[in-house]
C-alpha cells in the first residue's frame, strides 16, 4: 500500500454463490507492530503460567506435618507434640523466635484437629488498630457507625465458629485490647458493635508470640489472667541454629519450590556452599534461610549454587572486637604466618570458652558467635593435631 507493507484482512461479499466484491481492513500498519504484539502476548502468557503454577503450589499446600521440614531430634519432638496436642480442645500458645515457622505449626494443629473442616481465621494482634478492635474482632450491626457496611459484618470470632482462631504476635497486643479479648475468652459470648443480641461462640484458640510473656507480665505489659487463659499448653519452637542438620533438607525444599514457580530446572547446592550455610548463626531463622536461597537461585549459573553465590555473612560486633584486641597485643609476624596465628588465636579462644562454660559446647559456641557444627569440626581438628 503506497510502497509500505500492511497486515490486512480481506472479507468477501457474497450473494448466494456469487462473490460480488470484498472489503478490506488494515489490522496492523506493518510487520513491526505485529512483532511487538506477539512479544507482548508471549510475555503475558509467561506471567499467566507463573501465577498458575504459584496458585497450584498454594492450593497443594496442606500445611500438615509434611510442611514442617527436617529430621533433626528437635523437629521430631515438635511433630510428636503436635500429634498429641492437635485432637484436644485446649488453647495452645506457640512460642519461638521470629522466622521459626509458628504459623506452619498452627496450620498443622488445625489440619490434624477435629475442626479440620472448619475455618482457620488468622489475626495479627500487633497490627490491629485500637479504634477498630471491636468492629474487626466482634463485628457490627447495619448502620452501627458512619461508613459501616449496610448489611453489617461478622467479626473474626464469629468467622472462626466451628474452627480455629489464630492470634499471631499476641505478645504485642495493647493492654486495652487484652481486656476486651479476655472477656470473650472467658464467656465465649460476643456482642456486635451497635447490637444488643449476645452471640454464642464455638472456636479453639491458638496463639503465637516471639516475646517472653512472663517477663511482660512482670513488667505490667501483659495481663496475668490472659496469660493463663492462652497458655495451658505451650509449644516451644527450636531456632534454626539448634537444628542446623536440617539446613540441607530445607534448602532443597526451597529450591524445588522456587524453581517450579519460575519453570526452571532445580539447581543443586555444592558441599562448600552447604558448609557455609551451616556455619552461620541465622538470627532470622528459617525465613532468613529461605530469602538467602531465593537470592542464590537468582544469581547462580542455573545448574549449581556455589559459595560465591551466597551473601557475605555479617560479623557480629563482639566477634569482630576479639581479634582486634588480640591483634594489638600479639607480636608482629611474617605474612606467611598469618594463617597459623589465626589458628592459634581461634584454638585458644575455643579452649577458654569451654573452660568458662565447664565443657558446655552449646553455650561455648554461642559465646564465640559460631555454630555448633563449626565448633565440633574445630575440636576434631584440634584433637587430630594433638595426636
Residue 276 has pLDDT above 50, yes or no: yes
Task: Identify the residue with better confidence: 174 or 228.
Answer: 228
DSSP label of 193: B
Fold (CATH) for 65-238: Rossmann fold (3.40.50)
Residue 61 has pLDDT above 70, yes or no: no
Q: In what order do the strands lie in the sheet with 233-236?
A: 120-124, 163-168, 203-209, 92-95, 233-236
Fold (CATH) for 318-386: Arc Repressor Mutant, subunit A (1.10.10)
Confidence of residue 322 (pLDDT cuts 50, 70, 90): very low
Task: Identify the residue with better confidence: 377 or 273.
Answer: 273
pLDDT confidence of residue 165: 94
Q: Where are the domains of the chain?
A: 7-60, 65-238, 250-309, 318-386
Question: Residues for the chain: how many in total?
Answer: 387
Helix/strand/coil for 263: coil
CB atoms near residue 109 (< 10 Å): 28
Fold (CATH) for 250-309: Helicase, Ruva Protein; domain 3 (1.10.8)
Strands (E), the chain: 7-15, 18-28, 92-95, 120-124, 139-140, 153-154, 163-168, 189-190, 199-200, 203-209, 233-236, 268-269, 304-305
Residue 320 has pLDDT above 90, yes or no: no
Task: Identify the residue with better confidence: 61 or 226.
Answer: 226
pLDDT confidence of residue 219: 92
Find the mean pLDDT for residues 115-119.
Answer: 91
Find the mean pLDDT for residues 360-372.
Answer: 76
pLDDT confidence of residue 318: 43
Amino acid at each position: 500500500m503506497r510502497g509500505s507493507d500492511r497486515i490486512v484482512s480481506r472479507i468477501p461479499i457474497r450473494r448466494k454463490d456469487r462473490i460480488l466484491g470484498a472489503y478490506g481492513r488494515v489490522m496492523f500498519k506493518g510487520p513491526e507492530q505485529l512483532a511487538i504484539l506477539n512479544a507482548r502476548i508471549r510475555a503475558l502468557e509467561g506471567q499467566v503460567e507463573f501465577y498458575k503454577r504459584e496458585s497450584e503450589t498454594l492450593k497443594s499446600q496442606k500445611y500438615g506435618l509434611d510442611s514442617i521440614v527436617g529430621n533433626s531430634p528437635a523437629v521430631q519432638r515438635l511433630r510428636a507434640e503436635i500429634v498429641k496436642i492437635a485432637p484436644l480442645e485446649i488453647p495452645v500458645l506457640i512460642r519461638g523466635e521470629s522466622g521459626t515457622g509458628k504459623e506452619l505449626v498452627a496450620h498443622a494443629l488445625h489440619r490434624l484437629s477435629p475442626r479440620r473442616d472448619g475455618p482457620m481465621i488468622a489475626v495479627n494482634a500487633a497490627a490491629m488498630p485500637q479504634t477498630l478492635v471491636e468492629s474487626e474482632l466482634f463485628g457490627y450491626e447495619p448502620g452501627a457507625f458512619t461508613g459501616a457496611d449496610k448489611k453489617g459484618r461478622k467479626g473474626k470470632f464469629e468467622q472462626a465458629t466451628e474452627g480455629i482462631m489464630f492470634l499471631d504476635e499476641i505478645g504485642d497486643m495493647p493492654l486495652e485490647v487484652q481486656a476486651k479479648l479476655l472477656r470473650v475468652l472467658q464467656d465465649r459470648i460476643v456482642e456486635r458493635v451497635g447490637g444488643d443480641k449476645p452471640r454464642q461462640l464455638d472456636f479453639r484458640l491458638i496463639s503465637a508470640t516471639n516475646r517472653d510473656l512472663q517477663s511482660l507480665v512482670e513488667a505490667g505489659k501483659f495481663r496475668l489472667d490472659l496469660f493463663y487463659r492462652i497458655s495451658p499448653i505451650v509449644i516451644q519452637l527450636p531456632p534454626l541454629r539448634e537444628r542446623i542438620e536440617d539446613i540441607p533438607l530445607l534448602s532443597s525444599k526451597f529450591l524445588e519450590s522456587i524453581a517450579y514457580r519460575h519453570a526452571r530446572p532445580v539447581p543443586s547446592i555444592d558441599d562448600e556452599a552447604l558448609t557455609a550455610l551451616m556455619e552461620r548463626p541465622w538470627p532470622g531463622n528459617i525465613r532468613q534461610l529461605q530469602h538467602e536461597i531465593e537470592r542464590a537461585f537468582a544469581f547462580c549459573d542455573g545448574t549449581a549454587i556455589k559459595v560465591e553465590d551466597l551473601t557475605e555473612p555479617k560479623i557480629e560486633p563482639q566477634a569482630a572486637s576479639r581479634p582486634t584486641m588480640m591483634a594489638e597485643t600479639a607480636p608482629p609476624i611474617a605474612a606467611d604466618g598469618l594463617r597459623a596465628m589465626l589458628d592459634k588465636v581461634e584454638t585458644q579462644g575455643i579452649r577458654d570458652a569451654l573452660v568458662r562454660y565447664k565443657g558446655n559446647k552449646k553455650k561455648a559456641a554461642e559465646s564465640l558467635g559460631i555454630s555448633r557444627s563449626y565448633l565440633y569440626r574445630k575440636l576434631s581438628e584440634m584433637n587430630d593435631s594433638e595426636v
